[in-house]
C-alpha cells in the first residue's frame, strides 16, 4: 500500500470525481492535518452545504496527524526559500510532513510541480 500526504487540492479533486485521482482514492494510506481539513470544510461549506462539509470532515478526520513545532519552523523556512512560488503556510506544512515521513506529497498545486518528493496530478 502506498502512503501519501494529501494536500487539500487532492481531497478537492477526489470529491469532484477527477479521474486522474482515481488511483489515490482506494488502497492508499492517507496522512493529512486538521488545517487541510479546515480548508476542505470551508470549500465544501461554500459550495455543497453543511451536511456535505460535515460528512467529509468526519470521513477524513482519522487521517490527521499533529503538527509539531519543528514542522512549523521548517515549513516557514521552506516557504521563505520558495517565496516566489507564493505557497500557502498549510501547503508548506504538509510538504514538510511528507518529507519527514518519507512519503509523497500529493497535490495539483502548480507551485509544487517540479519539487522533489511531490506526486503532481492535475
Those residues with Cβ within 8 angstroms of residue 65's Cβ, 6 or more apart along the chain or in another chain: 31, 32, 33, 97
Identify the band that residue 70 occupies on the pLDDT scale cut at 50, 70 and 90: very high
Residue with cell 490527521: 64
pTM of the model: 0.95
Q: For 12-29, write each residue's pLDDT tens digit.
A: 999 999 999 999 988 899
* 12/48 Cα distance (integer angstroms): 12
Distance in angstroms between the alpha carbons of the first and the last residue of the chain = 22
Domains of the chain with CATH codes:
2-120 (3.40.50.1010)
Q: For 88-101, write each residue's pLDDT tens digit.
A: 999 999 999 999 99
Amino acid at each position: 500500500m502506498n502512503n501519501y500526504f494529501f494536500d487539500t487540492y487532492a481531497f478537492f479533486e477526489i470529491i469532484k470525481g477527477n479521474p486522474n485521482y482515481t488511483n489515490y482514492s482506494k488502497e492508499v494510506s492517507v496522512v493529512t492535518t486538521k488545517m487541510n481539513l479546515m480548508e476542505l470544510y470551508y470549500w465544501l461549506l461554500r459550495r455543497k452545504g453543511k451536511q456535505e462539509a460535515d460528512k467529509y470532515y468526519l470521513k477524513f478526520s482519522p487521517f490527521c496527524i499533529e503538527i509539531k513545532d519543528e514542522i512549523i519552523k521548517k515549513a516557514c523556512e521552506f516557504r521563505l526559500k520558495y517565496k516566489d512560488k507564493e505557497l500557502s503556510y498549510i501547503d508548506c506544512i504538509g510538504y514538510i510532513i511528507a518529507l519527514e515521513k518519507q512519503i509523497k506529497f500529493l497535490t495539483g498545486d502548480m507551485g509544487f510541480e517540479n519539487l522533489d518528493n511531490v506526486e503532481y496530478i492535475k
